[in-house]
Every structure is written in C-alpha cells, then in structure tokens.
Structure 1
C-alpha cells in the first residue's frame, strides 16, 4: 500500500502546485483577478488525492507488507490466489442503471424519482454485496 500512497501523494502535490500557478497566472493575466472556479477545483483535486493517499498510508501500517512494497521483490513473490471474483454478475449493470436514474433525477430535480433511484441503488448494492453470502456457518 506504500506504493499507492506515494502515487496519490504525488498527485496531491501536483494538484496544489498547479492550483497555485493557476491562481497566480489568472490574477496577472486577467482584469477580474483570480479565477475562483478552476482554482477551487484544482485545490479540491489535490485535497481528494491527499485524502486517498492518507488512507492508503493508514492501511499500510496495519497490514503485512505486500510484494509490491519491497524494492527487491520478484514477480513470483506475488503468485497465488488473489481472492474470489464473480465469473459473471449482472448486479454491476443494475448499479449503473440505478446510479444513472438517480443522476437524471437529480439533474431534472424530480424528488420522487430521486427517492426511487436511491432505493433501487441501495437494493442493487446490497444484491452485489450479498450475492454469494451463504449465511453464518455453525
């Protein structure tokens, strides 16, 4: 997870540097001063990348180092089972449709459709999460 944390930290630094350069250049080149929308968007991009990088750093301290975290790791060190992945599930299609429905409802501000979209979205997410749940094993 340390590699991923470094990547997001680099993106965060880049976002903050670009936001600063953008704010200075727009203040100098326009009569209106600093352009707020682009500056805020770049600052938020840096902030979100910093948030994700901090999460990865937090998780990296609590788990065993992976082969990706070692400088001298070989490809064969990462061999083995990575987990269970569904061979064919239709739940992601339902989630996408429900998210699209909710997005359209928000765009046209239809409160009843927003509620329907959120309910369908929650149902499809629960379906994906519990697709292979077999219940407690006693």
Structure 2
C-alpha cells in the first residue's frame, strides 16, 4: 500500500505541474484567456490524486504492514475470500447496458437517457437483490 500512496502523490504533483503550465500557456497565447475546460479538469485530476494519496497514507498509519509492502512476503498471507459472487448473473449486463444508454442519451438525445435509467434501475436492483430470490436465495 505504500507503493500505491507514493504513486498517487507523484500523480498529484505531476498533474498540478501540468495544470499550472497549461494555464500559463493558454493564458498567454489564447486570445480569450485561460481555456475554461482543460485547466479546471487538470486541477481536478491533481486534487483527485492528492485525495487518494492522503487516504492511502492515513490508512497506512492506522494499519499494520501489508504483504505487498514486504519484499520477502509470500502470496499466501493475502489469500482468502475476496467476495461473494453469483455465478451466471445477468444483472451486471443490464446495469452496464443502462449505463451505456445513459451516456449515449446525454450525447444523442434525452429520450435514450430515460430508457437507460430504466435498464440501470432494473440491473442495479437485480444485482443487489439477487441473493434474496431464485436459486441463490439465502
């Protein structure tokens, strides 16, 4: 986890430097001033990198070392249950179709967005409730 924190600190600094340089160049050479989309987007990327790095750094301080932090560690200490997944589940497909239609609807037409919302709600509810009904019921 220490390596991940270092990577995100580096990414945050990199995007901050790029944002300042981009703002300076567009402010100097563009006739309308600083470009209103790219500069805030780069600042947001820098902020996101710093936020993730801070969370990882604080997590490292409160938890013991992970086996990924030890160069002599084996894979076995991290073995175990990684989650509970339903085999043959169609719910992720419906949720993905809903998300794709929502993104397409924003670009092409709001009526497509409405169909995307319907597919997404069906997919997400199916995904959340799939262990409450059917053959995988508890």
- Same fold (TM > 0.5): yes
Which runs of no fewer than 5 residues in structure 1 stay unpaired?
Answer: none
| Aligned residue runs from structure 1 range 12-51, under 5 A | 12-51=12-51
Change (3 A) 1:79 1:38: closer
CA distance in 2, matches of 1:92, 1:59: 30
CA distance in 2, matches of 1:64, 1:127: 37
Is the CA contact 1:67–1:77 (under 8 Å) kept in the aligned structure 2?
no
| Aligned residue runs from structure 1 range 64-79, under 5 A | 64-68=64-68, 70-78=69-77
Is the CA contact 2:97–2:116 (under 8 Å) kept in the aligned structure 1?
no
CA distance in 1, matches of 2:16, 2:10: 10
CA-atom RMSD in angstroms: 2.9
Match of 1:54 in 2: 54
CA distance in 2, matches of 1:122, 1:29: 47
Deviation at 1:100, TM superposition (A): 1.2
Match of 1:10 in 2: 10
Q: Post-superposition, which runs of at least 4 consecutive aligned residues in structure 1 deviate over 6 A?
A: none
Is the CA contact 1:5–1:56 (under 8 Å) kept in the aligned structure 2?
yes
TM-score scaled by length of structure 1: 0.71
Deviations 1:23-60 (A, max 9, x none): 12233344443333221121111122223333334444
SS across alignment from 2:33: coil
CA distance in 2, matches of 1:115, 1:62: 44
Match of 1:125 in 2: 124
Change (3 A) 1:30 1:103: closer
SS across alignment from 1:75: coil
Match of 1:100 in 2: 100
CA distance in 2, matches of 1:3, 1:129: 33
SS across alignment from 1:33: coil
In the comparison of the two structures, how many residue pairs are matched? 133
